[in-house]
Amino acid sequence: MEELTGAQALVRSLEEQGVEVVFGLPGGTILPTYDPLLSSRVRHVLVRHEQGAGHAAEGYAWATGKPGVCMATSGPGATNLVTALSDAYMDSVPIVAITGQVGRPLIGSDAFQEADITGITLPITKHNELVTDPARIPAAIAEAFHIATTGRPGPVLVDVPKDVQQASAPWRVTDWPPAMDLPGYQVPGAPSGAAIQAAAQLLLQARRPVLYVGGGVIKSDSYADLLRLAELAQAPVTTTLMARGAVPDTHPLALGMPGMHGTYPAVAALQEADLIVALGARFDDRVTGKLADFAPRAKIVHADIDPAEIGKNRTPDVAIVGDLRLTLAGLADAVAQAISVGAAPDTSDWRAVLDGWKRRFPLRYTQHGDGPLKPQYVTERLSAMTGGNAIVVAGVGQHQMHASQHYTFTRPRSWINSGGAGTMGFAVPAAMGAQVGRPGELVVAIDGDGCFQMTAQELATCAIEKIPIKVLIFNNGFLGMVRQWQELFYDERYSSVELGTAIPDYVKLAEAYGCVGLRCDRADEVDAVLDKALAPSDVPVVVDFRTHDREGVFPMVAAGHPNDDILLGPEFSADEQAAASRREMELG
C-alpha cells in the first residue's frame, strides 16, 4: 500500500485508466491535482477557455472512440464546461470532466469560486458525483469512465473538493479497475434473439425498406455488419447527421442524410417506406419533421441500446434493446440464413424509384466562374482534393449543413459535429481534440464566421502545441442560418443577424495567433488556396473564404412541418417542385 494524496491518486487513476491526454486549465481548487500532473505521463493541453477543453475532449472521443477528458477549476472554470457537457449529453459523447471544488468545510458557504456544479450539470450529464472521501477517488474515477463509455455513452463529471485532493489517500488498488459500486447501473447486453428474428422477417418481406442509421452505429463500431445487412437485404440506407460516414456516400444503396436539410431521396424514401429499420437513431424532430406525419405507412423496427428511446417518439412494431454491434451482426446473420434457405428479398422496383429521385432531385447549386463564391463549391473541392479522406469537423449552421451534404464521406469517424445541442463554436476546439487523438491525419474544420468567433482563442493552443488543424471559414458576414429563417419566415426582416465580413480581419487574426492566414473569394482560386492550406504544416492554417451571403441551405423542411412539405429550393423549377411534392414513383 502506497501513501498518496487525493490528487496523486486522481492522476494515478487517470494513468491506470489509460488516459493519454487531458484538456484543461488550472485554477485555485484544482491546483493540488495539477502538481502531480506535471510529472505524469498523461499529456496536458492547456486551453484558453474551459469550453474549449470540453469540446476538445468531445472531438477526441468522436475521432478515436475513446473517452475524452477535460479538467477545470471550481466556479467559473466548471461552469465554462457546461455547454460542452450539454453538447456531449445530447450527442452521447463519452467524456469525463474533472473539476476542483472548494474545500469540504466551505461547501455551501458561498465561498470564493464556489458553484454547485453537480447540481448545475445534473440534467446534462449521464452521471455526476461530488467525491467527499479521498479513499473513494480511484473508484469514482473508474466508475466515471465505465459509465461514460458503456451502454449509451455520455458525459460524466467528477467534482473533487480541494481538501479531498490534499488529504491522504492510501492507494489500495491492486488491480485496475478497482471494485466499483454501481448496483443500479445496468448495461443492456445481448439483444433478444426473438426480436432479431422478427425484425429479419419484416426486412425480408418489405418491398420498400429503408435503414435509418443514427450515431449509435458509429459509437458501436458496427458499420461492417451494417453494410453486410444492407447489401444482403438490398435495403437503401440513410445516414443521419450523427452517422455520416457510417456507409460510404459512394455506395449505390446510400441515400445521404435525412431530415430538415436532408436529400430529397432520403426524406422521400422514409415517407414512402413500408419498413423503417432504425439503428441507433432516436426519431429526432430534425429527422421526422412533424412527428404525426412521419413515414405514415411504415412499420418500425427500432434497435437501440437505450430502452428509453424505444417508443419515446414513435411506437415500434419490433423493439431490439441491446448493443448495436450484436444486433447488427445478429440481423445480418439472420437475413443471410434466411436467404440461404430460399428467401429472396426483392427491392429492385423500390431502388429504381430511388435512383430516379437521385437523378431528378439531387443536391443542386450553381457556381458561376466569376460570380460569388458558393460554400457548396468549396466543400466539393475539399472533398475531391482530399479524396473524402479528411476528418471534417463542423460548427453549427449553414456551413455545417453544406459540409454534411456536399462532402463525400467514405469512412466512419471522419465527420464530427454538434448535432443535438447545436452548439455554435464547436468546430475549432473539437478539431483540436480530434487532431490530438489522430495526429497523423488531416483534420479540417469547416466553420462559419459566427461560430468561429465564439471559440477562436483555441488557435493559440493549437499553434503553441503544434496541433496543425486546418480551419476553413465560410465567411458570409451573417449568422447565415438565422438569416435564412428570417428571410423565409420573418418577411425578410433581418434583425441583428449581420456580422460583417471585414471585422475581424481573419488573416491578421490567424497570424496574430501564430497561424497561417489565407483568403479566397473567387471560385477559380479555390483549388490553389486549398492546395496551400492542406499542405502539411506545423501550425494551424486559417482560410477566410468569402462566400455568398444569400446562399441558402436546401432542400428544407420548415420546422414543425410534415416532411411531405420538403422544399427543393431556388435551383429547381416550379414543375420540378410539383413533381417532387407528388413524389412521382416512376420506375427508373
Partner 1 sequence: MSTHTLSVLVENKPGVLAHVAGLFSRRAFNIASLAVGPTHDERVSRITIVVDGATTPVEQVKKQLEKLVRVLKVVELGNDEAIERELALIKVKADPALRGQLLEVAGVFSANVVDMSPTTLVLEAVASPAKLDALLAMLDTYGTCELVRTGRIALARGSGVITDQPELAATLEAETAA
The binder of partner 1 chosen from 126, 219, 399, 483 (CB under 8 A): 126
Exposure string of 314-333, with b = 16+ CB inside 10 Å and e = fewer, is bebebbbbbbbbbbbbbbbb
54-to-49, 232, 283, 455, 557 alpha-carbon distances in Å:
9, 41, 27, 12, 32
* By CB under 8 A, residue 127 contacts partner 1: yes
Q: Which of 90, 401, 432, 481 is catalytic?
A: 481
Confirm whether 197 is a catalytic residue.
no
Count of residues touching partner 1 (by CB under 8 A): 33
Confirm whether 50 is a catalytic residue.
yes
Q: For residue 98, what are the β-bridge partners?
A: 71, 158
Q: Which stretch binds partner 1 (CB under 8 A): 182-190, 396-404, 439-447, 519-527?
A: 182-190
Contact partners, residue 471, CB within 8 Å, separation at least 6: 427, 428, 431, 444, 445, 447, 452, 459, 540, 541, 542, 543
> Distance from CA of residue 502 to its chain's centroid?
30
Q: Which of 113, 166, 201, 205 is catalytic?
A: 113
For partner 1, which is the closer residue by CB, 119 or 170? 119
Instruction: For residue 464, count other CB atoms closer than 10 A to its CB.
Output: 14
Long-range CB pairs of 133-136 (<8 Å, 24+ gap) are 133/164, 134/5, 134/6, 134/9, 134/164, 134/165, 134/167, 134/168, 134/169, 135/169, 135/170, 135/172
Q: For residues 85-124, which are near partner 1 according to CB under 8 A?
A: 118-119, 122-123
Q: How far is the CB of 122 from partner 1 (least distance, A)?
A: 5
Confirm whether 51 is a catalytic residue.
no
Q: Which stretch binds partner 1 (CB under 8 A): 44-52, 57-65, 190-198, 545-553?
A: 190-198
The binder of partner 1 chosen from 28, 65, 177, 188 (CB under 8 A): 188
SS3 content of the chain, % helix, strand, coil (to 5): 40, 15, 40
* By CB under 8 A, residue 191 contacts partner 1: yes
Q: Work out the burial of residue 180: count CB atoms within 10 Å of its CB; fewer than 13 is exposed, 13-18 middle, 19 or more buried.
A: middle
Going residue by residue from 60 to 89, which x/- string records binding to partner 1, judged by CB under 8 A?
------------------------------
Which residue type does 400 have?
Q
* By CB under 8 A, residue 285 contacts partner 1: no
The binder of partner 1 chosen from 221, 224, 308, 586 (CB under 8 A): 308
The binder of partner 1 chosen from 168, 194, 349, 489 (CB under 8 A): 194
Confirm whether 126 is a catalytic residue.
no
* By CB under 8 A, residue 550 contacts partner 1: no
Whole-number Å distance between alpha carbons of 569 and 564: 14
Q: How do beta strands 95-101 and 68-72 pair?
A: parallel
Going residue by residue from 140 to 159, which x/- string records binding to partner 1, judged by CB under 8 A?
-------x------------
Q: How far is the CB of 336 from partner 1 (least distance, A)?
A: 21
Q: Which of 112, 337, 511, 584 is catalytic?
A: 112
Confirm whether 113 is a catalytic residue.
yes
Whole-number Å distance between alpha carbons of 523 and 501: 18
Q: Which stretch binds partner 1 (CB under 8 A): 183-191, 265-273, 471-479, 506-514?
A: 183-191
Helix axes 458-465, 427-437, angle to 10 degrees: 20
For partner 1, which is the closer residue by CB, 102 or 147? 147
Q: Which of 50, 58, 309, 551 is catalytic?
A: 50
Which residue type does 267 have?
V
**CA-based angle 66:329:222, to the nearest 5?**
25
What SS3 class is residue 297? coil
For partner 1, which is the closer residue by CB, 204 or 247? 204
- Is 388:410 a contact under the CB 8 Å cutoff? yes
Q: Which stretch binds partner 1 (CB under 8 A): 129-137, 226-234, 329-337, 385-393?
A: 129-137
- Interface with partner 1 by CB under 8 A: which residues? 118-119, 122-123, 126-127, 129-130, 132, 147, 182-186, 188, 191-192, 194-195, 198, 306-308, 310-312, 316-321
Residues identified as active-site = 50, 112-113, 162, 481
